[in-house]
Each structure stands twice: as structure tokens, then as C-alpha cells.
A and B are shown apart, each in its own frame.
Chain A
Amino acid sequence: MHTGDHIPCSEFLNLSCNAMGSIQFDQVTLEFSGMSRPAVNQVSCEVASGELVVILGPSGCGKTTLLKMVNRLYEPTSGRIYIDGQDIKRLKPTKLRQKIGYVIQQSGLFPHMTVADNVAVVPKLLKWPNPRIQARVDELLQLVKLPPTEYRDRYPAQLSGGQQQRVGIARALAGDPAYMLMDEPFGAIDAITRTALQTEILRLQQQLQKTILFVSHDVDEALRLGDRILVMNAGQIVQFDTPFNLLTQPADPFVHELLGADDMVRQLGLLTVNSAMMALPDNYQNGSKPTVNAVDNLRDALSLILKTGAPELSVVDQDKPVGLLTLEHIRSYAAEANR
């Protein structure tokens, strides 16, 4: 997707020139007739290329409405939306949608098509030659860990909810879009499968670097997945920041309440061990301390301390000891983060 082409800046706005792969909202408002307030009210923000932004908020806050304006399932009453620095109003809706992967809550798989045919829909719309489509289908099924030989010819009804959503993700990725819109994709899935699918998303995102808008009402999911979180209430942006900043510097009582910013354990889940640990003393001897990875989060480290009763943990980076971590380190680092 990242070609060397020159991308003209928007003439209307002071947008960054690096617009390829980005999504910009400019004063976007959508009013439904018969509603007392706009569903989405004067939203302006920018999502950078390769960023995963979670739109978080209570039911009716306008998060899904905002998402569906990006692929023009809804048209804003006023304001503009740009992708690749281009006003989406100038694109044909079908062409625009073929460039944007779309995943919805109930998977929306076509029940009369096999898994392979479901995944092949967008490549067919894009008129890819058949051998390329088949190769792409197998590649994607592999990517979402559904072995093609076993799953290619199954029908959606023969899959579990989690597997259906994996196919939904593969289908959305099929045309190799630079953008993904995900509308509460794991909302109807049991907690264990949901965690597994979240891990998959993080893995895929590391590999594929799509620009993703992900709607959720689950705070833990948002904190886990989002590079940044767009908190919405009553159609407006309340705060748009990194998970850590939202927890430590909530903009107002609403964000504070929504995220449970008082929950220290939740905060620890966003801090890594290597930021709180102490460097190894010169005369260090490992002994038989429990070990924790430098990139693990402090919540897991705390859990390990409490479980094993060990006074300190040995921090390792690729199996080499690099530091020590005690309960006191965690406590003082958390206090510092909240100052």
C-alpha cells in the first residue's frame, strides 16, 4: 500500500502530507431525524497509518455510527472524512468499501457459501484472476489458523462462533485493504475465545500494520488492543489518548469512571517490567528466583510475586538475567506514574 506516489495534501485543511493509510475526521456530524441530539456531534480527529484505534463508549454514544460513516453506510449531515487524504465523498461507495475491510459482530458470513467462497468475495469483486483468488484464500485461512484443507469447503453453520469470526476477519483482509473497520467483532463471543481472538488481532496487526478502527464497549479489550483509545459520550469525543494516559490522566469524571482509573491493577497491566525493575547488582547470583520476562506487564509480575511468595523476581531478556523486581519497585513505580 505504501507506494512512493506523491499524495497531494487536502486543499481544505491543514492536514499532514503523510496521509497515505490515515483516516481523518473533520467536524463530522450526523443527525437522525426525530432524535433530540446528533448521533455524532462535531467529531474531528486523525488516525495515523498502521494505528489501531479503539472507539470506546457506552451504548448509544455514537461509536458504531462514527465507524459506519467511514465506509459510507451512513452519510454525515455535515463535515468531511478523508482516507489517504482523499475526501471519501468523491469515491464511489462500492469502490470505497472494497478498499476497507469490514468485520461485524454477528460475523455476517454468507450461509450459502463455503468458507472459501466467503473469503473470496472481495477478490471476486476486484476481479482478480481465479488462481490468485484461490492462493489468497488459502493464505488467509492459514493466517487465521484454520487449516485450508480442513476448512475451505465447510459452511458457516458447521463452524463455532470463534471460527466464524476468524473467517470474518480473513474475509475482511482478503482484498488486502489498508484499512479495517471492526464493529464489536468479539461482542457475542465467550470470554475465553474472545481473549484468544484479541491475541490473534495483536499478532496479525504486528504482521500486517493495517489502519484499524475497532468499536468496543469492553474497557479491558480497549486497553489491551488500542494503540490509542477514542472515548466517546453522547456523540462527542471526550478524550483521545493512549491507554496509559487515559488511566493516569483522565480528562473528566466520565472517563475516570468508564475506565475505572482507580483500578491500580488495571494500570499495572499497561506497564512493562523493564520500566520498573532495578538493574542487576555487580555481585549478582541468580539462585533459584522465579523469573519474569522484561516485556511482561507488571500485573503478571505482581501476580507471580503473590503466588510464589518470593521477595524478588529475576527479570530476563531472551533467557539472560537483566534485572531484579521487588514488590517495592512495583509500588513506587505505580505511585510515580499516578503523580
Chain B
Amino acid sequence: MGYLLNNPSEVGWLLWQHLQMTSITLLIAIAVAVPIALLITRYRWLSVPVMGTLGVIYTIPSLALIIFLVPVFGLNATSVIVAMVLYTQVILVRNLTVGLSSIDPAVLEASRGMGMSPWQRWWWVQVPLVLPVFVAGARIAAVVATAIATIGAKFNAGGLGQLLFDGIQTNRIDKIWAGSITVAVLAFAINALLLWLERRSHPTRKAQTK
């Protein structure tokens, strides 16, 4: 705790790096997951091979996966971010496809029969109905990414992992404590924020609070 209080700017900087890695990961991961999920929903036969591949990627230890990527992207944050994007796909894609396929077919048929264009059906009907499930997936993905990003320090990417690895190497328990506590608080904070968003995005929220 002492280290944390005595070096607020250093910890703050590492926290900022950590947060940056996590949010960039999340943005890219969502941008990749949405089209994949749409393809799977459209062409059902893709589901098994795609979900299978993403599941296999998820089982590779993160350290090994990043090492694997270093020759391609270099010893930097990029390798770490690419690895985290790959990890979070299985979570995001699964939640999106489950959410999309759980929309009542009668609702989709009604929207078509009433004369909505595919674009209007997407924004007026599918997005609002899939949003709570999607945000739930994004929340889990964000927490997973926060955890994996700690390893980034080993690959020159900075972040709160720096404190942990330094602490281990120099036998400084206070640094290890500072790193662990900050990562934990960050994970809790992200989780709470997205949980709040998830509740807010629930389609009949207003009805329930009335």
C-alpha cells in the first residue's frame, strides 16, 4: 500500500497504459466480432467451424500465444493486443449469436412485413433487442482482457504487470501488492461500469421500474 501512495504518478501512468491496452482491445474485438456473428447467424453451417476455432484459440495459454505473435508484430503492445483480441472473440461472438438468434422470429417477420429495410430492421429492432446480451459479453471480455494485459509487461507493452514483474525480480513485496490491488480495482470498476450499462440497455427497463 505504501508504494502505491508514495509513487502515485508512476502507478497512474502504468494504469493508464493498462486501460489503453484493454480499451483498444475491446474496440477492435467488437469491430471484428460483429461481422463474424452476423455471418454465423446468416449462414448457420459456419457456426460449428467458427465457434470451434475460436474455442481452440481460447485454450492456448496466453503467454504462449503472445510469444507466437512476437515474430509477426514485434516485441511490443501490438502483439499483446492482437492476442487479447483473439481471446475475447469466443466470448463476444457467442453472446452476439445467442442474442441474435433469440429474437422472436415473429418479431423479425413483422418488421419485414411492415416494410422496414434491412438497415431499419437492424437499427430499430435487432440492435436494441440484442444489446443487453451483447453488453454482458463485452463485460466478460473486458475483464478477461484486463487480466491478460498484465502479462503485457513481459513483452515491453507496459501496464500494471510492470509492477508485478519488477516486484518479483527485485523481491519487493510492496510493488507486488501495489500492482495486484490496482489491477483488481480496475477489473472491479470496469465490471461495475459495464454491468450498469447492461441494466440500462435492457429493452423494457422503463417498464420494470414503473
Contacts and interface: CB of A to CB of B under 8 A. Distances in A.
A242 B8 CA distance: 87
Interface in A193-248: none
Contacts of B104: 106, 108, 111
A108 B207 contact: no
Contacts of A110: 107, 110-111, 124-125
Interface in A123-165: 125, 154-155, 157-158
A96 B112 CA distance: 11
Interface stretch (A97-105, A256-264, A277-285): A97-105
A110 B109 CA distance: 11
A154 B207 contact: yes
Nearest to B110: A108
Contacts of A106: 104, 106
A295 interface: no
Which of B111, B120, B124 is packed against the most chain A CB atoms within 10 Å? B124
Which of A98, A112, A157 is packed against the most chain B CB atoms within 10 Å? A112
Contact of A155 (B110, B117, B207): B207
Interface string A77-110: 0000000000000000111111100101111111
- Interface SS of B by simple majority: helix
A155 B120 CA distance: 21
B204 A98 contact: no
B72 interface: no
B113 A71 contact: yes
A121 interface: yes
A55 interface: no
Nearest to A95: B115
A93 B207 CA distance: 34
B35 interface: no
A112 B204 contact: yes
Contacts of B128: 112
Contacts of B120: 125
Contacts of B117: 94
A96 B111 CA distance: 14
Given A104-B109, A106-B104, A157-B204, A111 B115 contact: no
Q: How large is the interface on A (under 10, 10 to 19, 20 to 34, 35 or more residues)?
A: 20 to 34
B114 interface: yes
A122 B104 CA distance: 20
Interface string B90-133: 00000000000000101101111111110010001100110000
Given A109-B107, A112-B129, A122 B115 contact: yes
Q: How large is the interface on B (under 10, 10 to 19, 20 to 34, 35 or more residues)?
A: 20 to 34
Nearest to A171: B114
Nearest to B203: A112
A133 to B, nearest CB: 14
A154 B113 CA distance: 23
Contact of A109 (B110, B112, B115, B207): B110
Interface in A167-183: 171, 181
A122 B203 contact: no
A310 interface: no
B207 A157 contact: yes
Contacts of B113: 71, 73, 97, 102, 104, 108, 181
Given A94-B116, A97-B115, A104 B207 contact: no
Contacts of B129: 111-112
B83 to A, nearest CB: 36
Interface in B165-205: 203-204
A93 B118 CA distance: 11
B116 A125 contact: yes
Nearest to B128: A112
A112 B123 CA distance: 12
A102 B207 contact: no
Nearest to B108: A108
B112 to A, nearest CB: 6
Contacts of B112: 73, 97
A179 to B, nearest CB: 12
Given A111-B203, A112-B128, A125 B115 contact: yes
A158 B207 contact: yes
Contact of B114 (A97, A112, A158): A97
A98 B106 contact: no
A98 B204 CA distance: 27
Interface in A44-79: 71, 73
A125 B104 CA distance: 22
Interface of B: 104, 106-107, 109-117, 120, 124-125, 128-129, 203-204, 206-207
5 contacts: A104-B113, A108-B107, A108-B111, A125-B115, A157-B207
Q: Which 5 A-B pairs have the closest CB atoms?
A: A108-B110, A112-B203, A97-B115, A98-B115, A102-B113
Given A102-B110, A108-B113, 17 more contacts: A73-B112, A97-B113, A97-B115, A98-B115, A102-B114, A105-B106, A106-B104, A108-B106, A108-B111, A110-B107, A110-B111, A111-B129, A112-B128, A112-B204, A122-B115, A125-B116, A171-B114
